[in-house]
């Protein structure tokens, strides 16, 4: 397992670009909200810790991970953000629904990155079990939301500096 014995939340704050003047969007799935709320809290805290003012963080909620693509697209179109973090959690069940949702969301977010000038960060856990999701949303492997926020900062900086 790639994250075994690795905390996803650790980063060197001295290597993070200046966030002055940057605006961030976070689109959060309400499905598996016990997981997505942990991811959201990690992302929000990382943005705040890296000097992004609360008023420069826009948060929207959508019903499920499938809807993250549309929510991210509308946020890009209407909120003048420099990066969007798409937060979701899809946990394997007994049917192929997991495969279809994971494929659609990852392709949709990829498409937004190709079609727009605003980076959309993929923070969608695609786990086999609830425990794996717990471990990555503030548990023993840290918080993937924190990692996504750091990626968003780096990508927003790239967008505005090139």
How many helices (H) and strands (E) in the chain? 5, 6
**Cα separation, 44 vs 50, whole angstroms:** 10
Any catalytic annotation for residue 141?
A: no
Please give the order of strands across the beta sheet that includes 120-127.
57-62, 24-29, 83-91, 120-127
**Given the residues 6, 49, 97, 111, the one annotated as active site:** 97
To the nearest 10 degrees (0 to 180), the angle between helices 68-78 and 97-115 is 20
Sheet strands (E) in 36-144: 57-62, 83-91, 120-127, 137-139, 142-143
Catalytic residue numbers read 97
């Amino acid at each position: 397992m790639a994250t075994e014995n690795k905390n996803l939340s650790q980063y060197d704050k001295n290597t993070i670009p200046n966030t002055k003047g940057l605006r961030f969007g976070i689109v959060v799935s309400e499905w598996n909200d016990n997981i997505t709320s942990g991811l959201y809290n990690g992302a929000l805290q990382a943005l705040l810790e890296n000097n992004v003012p609360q008023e420069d963080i826009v948060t929207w909620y959508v019903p499920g991970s499938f809807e993250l693509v549309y929510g991210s697209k509308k946020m890009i179109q209407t909120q003048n953000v420099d990066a969007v973090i798409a937060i979701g959690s899809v946990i394997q069940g007994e049917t192929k629904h997991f495969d279809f949702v994971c494929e659609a969301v990852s392709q949709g977010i990829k498409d937004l990155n190709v079609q727009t000038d605003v980076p959309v960060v993929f923070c969608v856990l695609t786990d086999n079990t609830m425990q794996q999701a717990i471990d990555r949303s503030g548990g023993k492997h840290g918080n993937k939301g924190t990692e996504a926020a750091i990626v968003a900062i780096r990508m927003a900086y790239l967008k505005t500096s090139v």
